[in-house]
Amino acid sequence: MPEGKGGIHMKCALITGASRGIGAAVAREFARRGWAVAVNYSKSEERANALVEELTAQGVPAMAVRADVADRVQVQEMVDNVLEKFCQLDILICNAGVSEVGLVSEIDEVRWRRIFGVNVDGVHFCCQAVLPHMIHRKAGSIVTLSSMWGQVGGSCEVAYSATKGAVIAYTKALAKEVGPSNIRVNCVAPGVIDTEMNGRLTREDLAALADETPLCRIGTPEEVARTVAFLASEEASFLTGQTLSPNGGLVV
């Protein structure tokens, strides 16, 4: 188990899809709060290693671990590697995700299966892999990442909306199943956030979305990260099966 200053044992977080965007912001936020961090990536090895170097330079135990979350075998190896290094895992943050934009009639089976593989199967495989450890300890927390489109649906984002709606339902059901083992499971469903995933939107599109938002702007990865960190904290000790949506009031 990693130790912080003064030999104090540190809590450990595994964050999927943490090499950039919201995942990287979550990793930095947990490190800032004194957690050891496992940074999962699938393809962005250079970014993941750079983030780990950044965190370790601040005195925070961190590791990069590769896995395509849509592959059950890779996910199990990832969790085994994290437990081998850190000895315990206090929180799993299921952030890895892909988007798919286009008319539903244009989405072929390969693309449909891939988005469900990452966004839904990935959450399931990661939860399955960490739960034996958490149940044995009678302690742990899981935070899934959905989207406001999982709550209300988005035109030309049918596949993405369907996967994110599934994540919300999965979270609610799993919270009831593992609550007796003192494991909390919650969801964060962000609105429009300034990330690379939304980089496909034009400046005009982003301005229009900001105008539709009651707070008159789009969100930042750091604001989502603080929401995730709150759900992991003792301040949220009686919260489970809930969906928090940092969206500036766009969806209520």
The end-to-end CA distance of the chain, in Å, is 41
Helix axes 45-57, 21-32, angle to 10 degrees: 20
Catalytic choice (119, 160, 228, 246) = 160
Residue 160: active-site member:
yes
Residue 179 vs residues 31, 138, 143, 165, 219: alpha-carbon distances, Å: 27, 10, 14, 21, 31
Helix axes 21-32, 221-232, angle to 10 degrees: 50
**Pair of tokens at residue 29:** 């936020």
Phi and psi angles of residue 98, each rounded to the nearest 5 degrees, phi first: -130, 155
Residue 169 vs residues 12, 75, 150, 217: alpha-carbon distances, Å: 26, 22, 10, 29
CA nearest neighbour of 13 among 49, 39, 32: 39
**Pair of tokens at residue 245:** 């949506």
At CA 228, angle to CA 74 and CA 208, rounded to 5? 105
Strand partners, 112: none
Strand partners, 93: 15, 143
Catalytically active residues are 160
